[in-house]
Amino acid sequence: MMTCHEVDQLVTPFIDDECTVAERAAILGHLQECHGCRTRVEAESTARHVLSAHAAVARTMGVAPPWRPRVFRLGQPALPVHPTVLMLFGLIGAGLFVLWLRPTPVQAVGVIGDSFCQRQHLFTARFNVGDHECTLGCVKAGAEFVLVTDTLVYRLGNPQLPDLAAFGSQQVKVEGTLDGDRIRIAKMTPVDTANAPPAAHLP
């Protein structure tokens, strides 16, 4: 039977499914009998999954996470800590992560374009059409409406919004919520390009 100390040394490869078949079988056998080790493994697994999910979301927004989930380790506490406390910290972290993922209110200025052409209309010369017709033609061919700012291209959470076709290739100010790389538009108004403010940089 594997000891608690031996299980502790193999927690990380066990959670990451990198231990041998024999080691995994021995760890599972120990966890069936040891409530303390089982609670600790569950707590660390929860915390590591939260950090991994957070890192994945950060990468989709073009932000490098300040840690690597692979090297995260609860470790052996310097002072005795009850396993229930570790589980509680894991649950609190998961709750904070859910709150962090809630859509964020946002205002931005950009051009309503399409996911094919994005920043540069590719078919205006080929089909002898303007930017507006190019945008609508791309959407009709299967592209999505997007919001193109000075630095980024954002997907839209409500791409069937009727006003999008009318504002195709035009600069607009949108108000709504930001969820990852997707903006759900609540209000959209045209911008006078002659007196337009600088394009907003979204968080």
Residue-wise pLDDT for 9-62, tens only, equals 888 888 888 889 999 899 889 988 998 888 888 888 777 766 666 566 555 655
State which residues of the chain have pLDDT below 70. 49-87, 89-91, 93-103, 193-203
As its CATH architecture, domain 104-195 has Beta Barrel (2.40)
pLDDT value, residue 140: 87
CATH 2.40.50 maps onto the chain at 104-195
**3-class SS at 147?**
strand
Q: What is the C-alpha to C-alpha distance for residues 196 and 96, in angstroms, rounded to an integer?
A: 38
- DSSP category for residue 67: S
Residues composing the chain:
203
pLDDT value, residue 101: 54
Angle formed at CA 82 by CA 79 and CA 22, multiple of 5 degrees: 95
pLDDT value, residue 172: 92
> Could you tell me the end-to-end alpha-carbon distance of the chain, in angstroms, rounded to an integer?
52
Q: What are the C-alpha distances in Å from 34 to residues 7, 81, 84, 197?
A: 11, 16, 14, 63
Segment holding 33, helix H or strand E? helix 21-33
Q: What are the C-alpha distances in Å from 138 to residues 43, 110, 120, 135?
A: 49, 18, 12, 5
pLDDT value, residue 129: 86
**Residue 13 CA to chain centroid, in angstroms?**
25
pLDDT value, residue 173: 92
Segment holding 166, helix H or strand E? helix 163-166
- Its pTM stands at 0.46
The answer to whether 110 and 174 are in contact (CB under 8 A) is yes
